[in-house]
Structure 1
Amino acid sequence: MSATTATVSGPKPDERLRLAPRPRERRFSGARTLRYALLLLFLVFVLTPVYVLVVTSFKGAGDASPDTAWALPSTWTLENWSAAWEALAPAIGRSFLMVVPAAIISSVLGSMNGFVLSRWRFPYANLVFTLILFGMFIPYQAVVIPLAQLLTVTLQVPTGIPSLIILHVVYGIPITTLIFRNYYESVPGELIEAARVDGAGMLRTYASVILPVSLPGFVVVLIWQFTSAWNDFLFAVFFASSQNGPVTLALNNFANGALLQNYGQSMAGALLASAPTLVVYIVLGKYFVGGMMSGSVKG
């Protein structure tokens, strides 16, 4: 009887271990809570300017001022968005005409360069790669005047979108070459050797073996080049005008003309000008991270 009673009373040793809180789990729970709190704090810090932009874009001319930047509109209106769209719509179309071919051409050229420099070794290949990378570190301000003389005077390239396409292609080649070279280093060498055994040359190997596995790399460089060309302002100032330039130049002129009369129009214009890049990152952001990670580990 006493043995049975002793067996029934009290939890078993395994149950006591299972019911007792573990210090390590408590420590991890506290660290996780702190991490989430910091992430929430950073999120609020980043989204605060976005809140001001969105709220002010719906305010009327008399309602938008620095003193009422945090307050909600007393009367919600879409007039600012209508005015901004009417002023910026042509420039947005020209920006698409500029960034799409510039991103595609520079990505293709960077892919070819990256393949040759990573898999088809030739004398002084590393020196050539280093010289290409130098283009990433040359400030735009240092070469903008020689570029203007070369494009507009020597080569007679029309100002506006044609000149900007050439500039963004040339300046995009170093970064696209670097990304693709690192990405192709992770492609198994057996695939290249098998193509060589089958008699494929460099172009056939690139077209039949490399391009089919290059989608993650192209996603990365296309997003990078799209946003870089879309947000450029310095080249637009020197090689275009408000009549034939991209949206960044048109937004600057629009904001300077409307800043004293209506802050809401400036905010609406800024949101319209940044909407394409925001959409690209929202839709393709996970592919961008995945493409960067796919070339970070060799094997």
Structure 2
Amino acid sequence: MADSGTMTAAMTGPRGPKPKRAFNRTNIMIYGTLIVVALYYALPLYVMIVTSLKGLPEIQMGNIFAPPMEITFEPWVKAWAQACTGINCDGLSRGFWNSVRILIPSLIISVAVASVNGYALSMWKFKGSEVFFGILMIGAFIPYQIMLYPIVILLREAGLYGSLTGLVLVHVAFGMPINTLLFRNYFASIPEELFKAARVDGAGFWAIFFRIMLPMSLPIFVVSLIIQVTGIWNDFLFGVTYISSPDRYPMTVQLNNIVNSVQGVKEYNVNMAATLLTGLVPLVIYFASGKLFVRGIAAGAVKG
């Protein structure tokens, strides 16, 4: 009977009221700090949003924290399709599509090659693999500014300077070290027994990669995707250095031209709307896949 009662209690679970969380000094400090930090980072975003929804006369009244008395989306329309960026007055739309043409091939090539690199360096180690990996890691910590001029010479000699193709290759090269590190450490955290069992069954390099590694690697692919999208989309330095024609400038360079324009009245509402439009793509991707990003980091992206 006693054993039966014990089994019944174990199956039904604990009874009684749930314990209440203690509202102590430590919790107050932790949540208070988090709230202050969140407000610190959210306040500039709030100012940008409310300013972008105001007309210019209301902005000139001087209260930047006040919500708009009359909401208008005209600054957003002007920032997208009418604002002048140098000799062109078609807003950010041209730069948006340039950034898309830069982002998609850069993202696909860098993530695909880095995933194969990481897989090979973790599961198919060859003679000199550690030296090769060390060279890649050195590249991850070299400041971009040091490499600007040598890459200008390389692109010029290859006939790619000033083109979107040249800029794509630059983003692929600079994204390779950190993404290879992420994939190598993630694949190294996968039980080696799976790899050995597949080898015993006769699976080769690509069969193991596509049938075993890829189905298990969605979180780390999302980590790599978010890092690459954020870095490539928000890049200004490479865009202004390696693109010679204003017609090919990415969105960030055109945003700089809008904000720093000295012609006419300073339209802060248009500037804020243009800034929000430029940052919209990375924000959407992050919020859509944020949980997978955390899973990827926790599952081995920073291990090894």
How would you bin the TM-score normalised by the shorter chain?
0.7 to 0.9
Aligned position for 1:186 = 189
The letter for the 2-side match of 1:234 is: L
Task: Check 1:123–1:257 CA distance in 2 against 1; reply closer, same or farther (3 A cut).
Answer: same
Q: Does 1:278 align with 2:279?
A: no
Task: Check 1:66–1:205 CA distance in 2 against 1; reply closer, same or farther (3 A cut).
Answer: farther
Q: Output the CA distance in 2 between the equivalents of 1:77 and 1:160.
A: 38
Higher radius of gyration, 1 or 2: 1
How far off its partner does 1:298 sit? 7.5
Aligned position for 1:218 = 221
After TM superposition, the score normalised by the length of structure 2 is 0.84
Task: Check 1:142–1:273 CA distance in 2 against 1; reply closer, same or farther (3 A cut).
Answer: same
Contact 1:64 1:262 survives alignment (8 Å): no
The letter for the 1-side match of 2:133 is: F
Aligned position for 1:70 = 65
Aligned position for 2:270 = 265
Task: Check 1:206–1:52 CA distance in 2 against 1; reply closer, same or farther (3 A cut).
Answer: same
- Aligned pair count reads 277
Helix, strand or coil: the match of 2:56?
coil
Q: Does 1:83 align with 2:78?
A: yes
Helix, strand or coil: the match of 1:123?
coil
Task: Check 1:74–1:50 CA distance in 2 against 1; reply closer, same or farther (3 A cut).
Answer: same
Contact 2:185 2:302 survives alignment (8 Å): no
How far off its partner does 1:296 sit? 5.4
How far off its partner does 1:97 sit? 1.6
After TM superposition, the score normalised by the length of structure 1 is 0.86
Cα deviation code 1:227-258 (max 9, x no counterpart):
11000000001112431121001111111127
Aligned position for 1:208 = 211
Q: Does 1:290 align with 2:302?
A: no
Q: Does 1:58 align with 2:63?
A: no
Structure 1 range deviating more: 176-185 or 74-83: 74-83
Alignment of 1:1-299 (within 5 A): 26=22, 29-65=24-60, 67-86=62-81, 87-151=91-155, 153-157=156-160, 159-240=162-243, 241-257=245-261, 260-295=265-300
Structure 1 range deviating more: 93-102 or 70-79: 70-79
Contact 2:234 2:252 survives alignment (8 Å): yes
Q: Output the CA distance in 2 between the equivalents of 1:298 and 1:84.
A: 43
Q: Output the CA distance in 2 between the equivalents of 1:291 and 1:126.
A: 24
Contact 2:98 2:249 survives alignment (8 Å): yes
Helix, strand or coil: the match of 1:270?
helix
Cα deviation code 1:184-204 (max 9, x no counterpart):
011111111112112222222
The letter for the 2-side match of 1:227 is: T
Q: Output the CA distance in 2 between the equivalents of 1:66 and 1:284.
A: 40
How far off its partner does 1:136 sit? 1.0
| Structure with the largest fraction of helix | 1
Q: Which runs of 5+ in 2 are unaligned?
A: 1-15, 82-90
The letter for the 2-side match of 1:192 is: F
How far off its partner does 1:38 sit? 1.8
How far off its partner does 1:287 sit? 1.0
How far off its partner does 1:25 sit? 6.2
Cα RMSD between the aligned structures? 2.4
Contact 1:103 1:226 survives alignment (8 Å): yes
How far off its partner does 1:100 sit? 1.7
Identity within the alignment, %: 39
The letter for the 1-side match of 2:241 is: F
Q: Output the CA distance in 2 between the equivalents of 1:296 and 1:97.
A: 28
Q: Output the CA distance in 1 between the equivalents of 2:207 and 2:24.
A: 55
Q: Output the CA distance in 1 between the equivalents of 2:169 and 2:240.
A: 15
Helix, strand or coil: the match of 2:248?
coil
Contact 1:186 1:297 survives alignment (8 Å): no
